[in-house]
Structure 1
Amino acid sequence: MKYSTDPEKLAQLIKPFGYQQLTEKGLRRAYNLGNLIRAQYPTLLGGKYNESQVYLRSTDITRTKMTLLAALAAVYPPAQEWQKGLNWTPVPYTTVPEEIDFNRALNSCKTFMTEVKQMYKLNYPEMIKYKKILELVMTHLHLDMNLVDKPLYINKIYNVFMSQISLGLDLPEDLKENLTEIKKAADAAFAVLYRDNKRGSILPYESGVLLNEFFNYAQMMINNITTQAMRIYSAHHENVYAFSKISRTDIGGMPDYGATFALNLRKEKYTDNFIVEPVFYVPSLQDNYQLKSLVVDGCGNPCYYSTFENLTKKYAWHYDTWRSNCH
């Protein structure tokens, strides 16, 4: 709340939903995402929900569960009306406690938490060009101007700004005029946070197990071993960004709420070659989506599975490895 330009008014606007929850706008965006997923993968999803066809998992956070439920309402509309006047069918998902969830490294992985906290305390040369915009933001928020020298906080601040705007609480005029620059600073902060540093990469802590799961289940499909054809995870913007980075793709900055990254495994029609196709679902202000094909850096076009594996496998962690490295 301290990152809002009007915390008291924002608190009133939040009351009907509760803190950190999904709004009607968020539900609509998630439902539209579900429609797009249904349109993209009709054969893999099947006519109605079947556990043997799709794996569904959410972090143990109310808003990510609600996001998944809203999306699934569109992914699996009822084949027939089972309750008069109710155009919805329940679809189950799985979750695990937050303290052992590899998709919640910011809360579950001590090593990662320590690293990130340290990074937020530091200044970075590449953030100097955003100093004026940071000063403008901190002045409006009446925060300690020392935060200008801890520029990674701008990504948290930008998220709060976007949340309050969506609830109908506008920004002061000079901040509104500079919102594009604030987003650029937030993007730069995310790039700094997830790049390799002297101690190595933090990407495996955030998305190494996800990458390993992609390899495991892709290999099962390649070897004609029965498994779900789709795996869908409802998580957080840090997961979307880290998973795209570990896959050597560029989604263009810190993702907005509802953004979705996917790795598709495809087989060439007339050969035995398998291809990795990364795609990004970009939400718009109107809560619709644009589907964006991405390029895997250094993999060629098409990006063959074997090449992708060689480029990225050093970052793939078994879950036990993740737990051990996270202490």
Structure 2
Amino acid sequence: MAGGQSGSRGWGSPPPLLLARGLGLLLLLLPRPPAQARSLRFVILLYRHGDRSPVKAYPKDPYQEGEWPQGFGQLTKVCPGAPTLGLSRVEGMLQHWELGQALRRRYQGFLNASYHREEVYIRSTDFDRTLMSAEANLAGLFPVEGAQSFNPNITWQPIPVHTVPEAQDKLLKFPLGPCPRFEQLQNETRQTPEYQNETAKNAQFLEMVANETGVTDLTLETAWNIYDTLFCEQTHDLPLPTWASPQTMQRLRQLKDLSFRFLFGMYQPTEKARLQGGVLLAEIRKNLTWAASASRHPKLLVYSAHDTTLVALQMALDIYNGEQAPYASCHMFELYQEDDGNFTVEMYFRNDSTKAPWPLALLGCSQRCPLPDFLRLTLPLVPEDWEQECQGTSSVADTEVIVALAVCGSILSLLILLLLTVLFRMQAQPPGYRHVADGEDHA
């Protein structure tokens, strides 16, 4: 992943050691070092960007893009007069700076006090808000000290954040696509009783919202756009229209959470995981395995992404709490080496800046999960060949039938064409006609 490319050589994406099914066995066969105190060896962080302006306005929205200083979808800074550390009014840049400081306190003694490029690798999606969130976070995580200061008036230093163009991002921007099988699963999800019941139950409500907003064809899957816009406006103290009552906002929020389940759960969740969150999980597994086996490796790998990234991963791991990941929330993977030399994985989720991160545990494992067990339990969620699995579920026999029918159709078309050609020529030459060769009399 050096240079930001998933799967290439580098700290962000180490070279594969063995096939996925052999990772657990490899770890069991590794020589054990002498007994030592339990120690943190490696950390992977996945966080959502900070507070932002709406991604777009609805047709009848009184607040269009000109209302926002940097336009739509941009990370926000502290508004004049707003409290600097109040949970509800901390704006995007400060939220991530504060998260960076919290991470500095958590990993004090593990990370160097100053930035060292050998220790840290940061990758972001190619969006202004995620790139800027990563930069603000790093400002809090690695405050400038001593020789790293390049100007006494600037308490900040540039730290590289890697990315790839949005169209090429097959790691962090969800839902991943194009993927025909995932689209087929979405269509099948729409036919489930749960989806049909929710559609019927919310039909009148969605019609009311569509009339008030001017949005056509509003569905369970697109209602989140309305909620997101209204939420951003409300968060920034813009008065909402009278129809957007607290009850309406609550119901829109429920539909927003439902849209996440539609995408990554509700129906065939394991297969959806393999096509979505399991792709990122595969990269995380590979990095944990590499850190447990390599003598030299970075200490910290950071992904700066979106709420859908967190939901896709957590739903794949079956640890999703059913609610949208808040701004600057952070999922942590911590790899420890125990005093007997074995490795364990611990997961935490920081979704509230006033509380300690919540410990998370895989189903079938303790919160301090042995690395071989973590790999074994997550293996069914990881695609063996994402491109192939995305092509659908047609069997080999079905493919052979399709090919045979295509060949027969082509042969039949050629025969028909040949027959028509012969008939045309027969009709063009009436009985008794004789071609006159060049040089003969034409009398």
1:247 equivalent to 2:317? Answer yes
Tell me the equivalent position of 1:110. 178
Supply the distance in 2 between the matched residues of 1:240 and 1:11 (Cα, whole angstroms): 27
Q: What is the Cα deviation at residue 140 of structure 1? A: 2.7
Task: Tell me the TM-score normalised to structure 1 length.
Answer: 0.83
Supply the distance in 2 between the matched residues of 1:76 and 1:295 (Cα, whole angstroms): 30
**Kept after mapping to 1: 8 A contact 2:212/2:243:** no
**Kept after mapping to 2: 8 A contact 1:31/1:72:** yes
> Cα–Cα, structure 1 residues 104 and 245, in superposed 2: closer, same or farther, change >3 Å?
same
Residue among 64, 82, 86 paired with 2:154: 86
Q: What is the Cα deviation at residue 42 of structure 1? A: 2.4
State the one-letter code of the partner of 2:61. P
Residue among 204, 212, 220 paired with 2:290: 220
Supply the distance in 1 between the matched residues of 2:139 and 2:94 (Cα, whole angstroms): 11
Q: 1:19-51 CA distances to partner (integer Å, 9 max, x unpaired)?
A: 221111211112122122222222333111112
Supply the distance in 2 between the matched residues of 1:272 and 1:132 (Cα, whole angstroms): 60
Q: What is the Cα deviation at residue 88 of structure 1? A: 0.8
Task: Tell me the TM-score normalised to structure 2 length.
Answer: 0.63
SS of corresponding position for 1:264: strand
- Per mean C-alpha deviation after superposition, the further-off stretch among 290-299 and 197-206 is 197-206
Tell me the equivalent position of 1:153. 222
Supply the distance in 2 between the matched residues of 1:158 and 1:52 (Cα, whole angstroms): 42
Tell me the equivalent position of 1:127. 198
Tell me the equivalent position of 1:19. 72
Q: What is the Cα deviation at residue 55 of structure 1? A: 1.2
- Per mean C-alpha deviation after superposition, the further-off stretch among 308-317 and 2-11 is 2-11
RMSD value over aligned CA atoms?
3.1
Q: 1:198-243 CA distances to partner (integer Å, 9 max, x unpaired)?
A: 5962323333332122222211222243111211011111111111
- Per mean C-alpha deviation after superposition, the further-off stretch among 202-211 and 128-137 is 128-137
Tell me the equivalent position of 1:9. 63
Residue among 373, 378, 381 paired with 1:312: 378
Q: 1:74-99 CA distances to partner (integer Å, 9 max, x unpaired)?
A: 01110124312211111112112222
Supply the distance in 1 between the matched residues of 2:321 and 2:344 (Cα, whole angstroms): 19
**Kept after mapping to 2: 8 A contact 1:105/1:206:** no
Supply the distance in 2 between the matched residues of 1:98 and 1:49 (Cα, whole angstroms): 28
SS of corresponding position for 1:86: coil
1:143 equivalent to 2:244? Answer no
**Kept after mapping to 1: 8 A contact 2:58/2:214:** no
Q: What is the Cα deviation at residue 126 of structure 1? A: 5.5
State the one-letter code of the partner of 1:140. E
Supply the distance in 1 between the matched residues of 2:343 and 2:356 (Cα, whole angstroms): 25
Supply the distance in 1 between the matched residues of 2:288 and 2:182 (Cα, whole angstroms): 33
- Per mean C-alpha deviation after superposition, the further-off stretch among 218-227 and 232-241 is 218-227
Supply the distance in 2 between the matched residues of 1:130 and 1:35 (Cα, whole angstroms): 43
Supply the distance in 2 between the matched residues of 1:324 and 1:98 (Cα, whole angstroms): 22
- Report which of the two structures shows the higher radius of gyration computed on alpha carbons: 2
Tell me the equivalent position of 2:361. 295
Q: Give the % identical residues.
A: 25
Tell me the equivalent position of 2:164. 96
**Kept after mapping to 1: 8 A contact 2:56/2:73:** no
State the one-letter code of the partner of 2:157. T
Q: What is the Cα deviation at residue 117 of structure 1? A: 10
- Per mean C-alpha deviation after superposition, the further-off stretch among 87-96 and 120-129 is 120-129
> Cα–Cα, structure 1 residues 152 and 208, in superposed 2: closer, same or farther, change >3 Å?
same
Higher helix share goes to which structure? 1
**Kept after mapping to 2: 8 A contact 1:47/1:76:** yes
> Cα–Cα, structure 1 residues 108 and 249, in superposed 2: closer, same or farther, change >3 Å?
closer
When the two structures are aligned, how many residues end up with a matched partner? 317
Q: What is the Cα deviation at residue 302 of structure 1? A: 3.2
Q: 1:164-220 CA distances to partner (integer Å, 9 max, x unpaired)?
A: 223332323452412233222211221122116359623233333321222222112
Supply the distance in 1 between the matched residues of 2:254 and 2:300 (Cα, whole angstroms): 34
> Cα–Cα, structure 1 residues 130 and 43, in superposed 2: closer, same or farther, change >3 Å?
farther
State the one-letter code of the partner of 1:245. M
Tell me the equivalent position of 1:28. 94
1:163 equivalent to 2:232? Answer yes
- Higher RCO by CA contacts (8 Å cutoff, separation 6 or greater): 2
Q: What is the Cα deviation at residue 118 of structure 1? A: 5.1
**Kept after mapping to 1: 8 A contact 2:123/2:303:** yes
> Cα–Cα, structure 1 residues 279 and 39, in superposed 2: closer, same or farther, change >3 Å?
same
Q: What is the Cα deviation at residue 290 of structure 1? A: 5.4
- Per mean C-alpha deviation after superposition, the further-off stretch among 103-112 and 214-223 is 103-112
> Cα–Cα, structure 1 residues 282 and 260, in superposed 2: closer, same or farther, change >3 Å?
same
**Kept after mapping to 2: 8 A contact 1:194/1:201:** no
